[in-house]
Structure formats: C-alpha cells, structure tokens
C-alpha cells in the first residue's frame, strides 16, 4: 500500500547511477542526484536505504526498442543480484523505456545548463513515478 512505501529508484549506468525517492505515503517521485558507479556503490546504496528508512528499491530495467534484452539489461540484472545480497527490502524491476531520452528532452526544454548526472537523476524520477503510478490505490473500509 502506498502509505507504507518510501522507495529509492535507481537509473543504473556504467559510470553513474541516478537516484530518486518519494516521501512515505506520497505518490510523487523526487530526483535525488546521482552517485558514481564505483566498487563501493552497493554499500553506498545499502547505507542510504538504512539511513533514509527506504522500504522498497526500484531499479530501472533497460530493454531494446523491440523489448528485447540487451547488454545493458544483463548488466542491470547482475547489478540487481549483487545489491540483493546487501539489502533486505523488496527489489522491483521497472521498465525504463526511453526515460533517459525523455529526461534529456525535458532538461533541454528548460533552457538551463545541465550535466549527464542530471539526466540520470531525472530518469530515475520517471522510473519511480511509473512504479508509484502502478501501485494499487489504498482501499478504505466503510
């Protein structure tokens, strides 16, 4: 149920990982910047999950234009397997079709300077928003 969900979304790339979260009980994803994809990134994410009391991890799953697996799909699946060993919360794989393209277009339309990490963070926000939008509405007993 949405009232119990505070998710961290990841847009996993070879160099950087875009981050987004939502406050518990709120269906609005917010960009949280990016981190370098280094040898310490799994522990860095696990620490953030604990510190921020994250209940669910959402990882963007890249696919080819026809929905087929790609080298990046395999990389992200391997990344998810590694992080699964370091955390104890549910992991959700979320389709990330064209989120980076959409993020770059949005940032360009704003007319302000941006860097690649900003694209990653906004893409993570789209990934998380898609996940939150797919959650069932809280049912209210009468």
Long-range contact pairs involving 26-33 (C-beta distance under 8 Å, separation at least 24): 27/2, 27/132, 27/133, 27/135, 28/129, 28/132, 29/124, 29/125, 29/126, 29/127, 29/128, 29/129, 29/132, 30/125, 31/121, 31/122, 31/124, 31/125, 32/8, 32/121, 32/124, 33/117, 33/121
11 forms beta bridges with: 18
pLDDT at residue 139, as a whole number: 43
Nearest partner of 37 among 18, 56, 20, judged by Cα:
18
Domain assignments of the chain as residue spans, ordered by start: 2-134
Q: Which of 19-28, 65-74, 82-91 has the highest mean pLDDT?
A: 82-91
Helices (H) and strands (E) in the chain, counts: 4, 5
Nearest to 15 by CA among 43, 48, 37, 41: 37
Q: Is the pLDDT of residue 140 over 50?
A: no
**pLDDT at res. 5:** 82
Please tell me the predicted confidence (pLDDT) of residue 3: 64
Q: Which residues pair with 80 in a beta bridge?
A: none
pLDDT in the model for residue 104: 86
Mean of pLDDT over the chain: 90
| pTM exceeds 0.85, yes or no | yes
Q: What is the pLDDT of residues 91-111, one digit of tens each?
A: 999 999 878 888 889 898 998
Name the CATH architecture for the domain at 2-134: 2-Layer Sandwich (3.30)
**Pair of tokens at residue 36:** 């370098």
Residue with tokens 């009468």: 142
Helix (H, G, I), strand (E, B) or coil at 111: coil
Q: Note the pLDDT tens digit of each residue in 24-54.
A: 888 999 999 999 999 999 999 999 999 999 9
pLDDT, greater one: 28 or 138 = 28
């Amino acid at each position: 149920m949405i009232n119990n969900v505070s998710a961290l979304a990841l847009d996993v790339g070879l160099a950087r990982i875009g981050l987004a979260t939502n406050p518990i009980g709120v269906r609005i994803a917010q960009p949280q910047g990016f981190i370098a994809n280094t040898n310490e990134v799994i522990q860095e994410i696990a620490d953030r999950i604990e510190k921020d009391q994250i209940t669910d991890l959402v990882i963007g799953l890249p696919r080819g234009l026809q929905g087929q697996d790609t080298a990046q799909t395999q990389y992200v699946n391997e990344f998810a397997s590694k992080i699964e060993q370091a955390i104890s919360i549910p992991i959700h794989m979320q389709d990330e079709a064209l989120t980076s393209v959409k993020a770059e277009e949005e940032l360009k339309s704003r007319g302000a300077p941006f860097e690649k990490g900003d694209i990653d963070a906004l893409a993570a926000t789209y990934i998380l928003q898609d996940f939150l939008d797919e959650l069932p509405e809280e049912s209210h007993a009468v």
